[in-house]
Chains A and B, each alone.
Chain A
Amino acid sequence: MLNYALMIAFALVSAAVALSFWRLFRGPDTPDRILALDTLYINTIALLILLGIYLKSALYFEAALLIALMGFVGTVALCKYLLRGDIIE
């Protein structure tokens, strides 16, 4: 039962990663791409957590926590660049 649920979940989250990648390449504007990256890192956390349950290992938690912290900092830095970059021009 749990294995079937995990397989379905892996398929759905992988599809979510694919859709985010599509938006990342398609654009059309910079904020769209930043939003796609933001979604991608959250999807990656989901994948890592699922992998942790599948392999019965708590090791993946640290990786997920680090991705959460760094992903947020990355999004904020990119947005700040967009907001400030124009002021300097």
Chain B
Amino acid sequence: MQEYLLSFLIVTGAVFTFIGSLGLARLRDFYTRLHGPTKATTLGVGCLLIASAVFFSTQGEQLSLHEMLITLFLFITAPVSAHLLAKAALHLRLKSLAAIPKKAEE
């Protein structure tokens, strides 16, 4: 039972990690590419880390929760780096599929 849960979490996590990178490679302008890694990859790695916590808690003699630290850290930092990247891209006037609003150009 626990093995099925672990396998499910690991495969789900890997699939989301892959989809995040696929978005990075496949989409057509910088701003849309930004969406893949910030969301899909974060959840994917989160799933893998939860799988790791479950694995080591049931294998070892004591509870292992330190994986939660990386998950928490990634969930806090992912939007910050996405915001900074988008801000840098707007600053450099990268070409975009969507019209850049006037408010961003000041």
Contacts and interface: CB of A to CB of B under 8 A. Distances in A.
Chain A interface: which size bin?
35 or more
B94 A31 contact: yes
Given A12-B14, A42-B74, A49-B48, A1 B85 contact: no
Contacts of B60: 58
Nearest to A42: B41
Interface in A1-43: 1-2, 4-6, 8-10, 12-13, 15-17, 19-20, 22-23, 29-32, 34-36, 38-39, 42-43
B21 A39 contact: yes
Interface residues of B, number: 52
B17 A79 contact: no
Nearest to B89: A31
A49 B49 contact: yes
Q: Give chain A's interface secondary structure class.
A: helix
A22 B15 CA distance: 19
A76 B81 contact: yes
A36 B25 CA distance: 9
B63 interface: no
Name the 7 nearest CB pairs between A and B, nearest first.
Answer: A5-B7, A9-B14, A16-B21, A79-B84, A12-B14, A82-B88, A19-B25
Interface of B: 3-4, 6-8, 10-11, 13-15, 17-18, 20-22, 24-25, 30, 33-34, 36-37, 41-42, 44-45, 48-49, 51-52, 55-56, 59-60, 64, 66-67, 69-70, 73-74, 77, 80-81, 84-85, 87-89, 91-92, 94
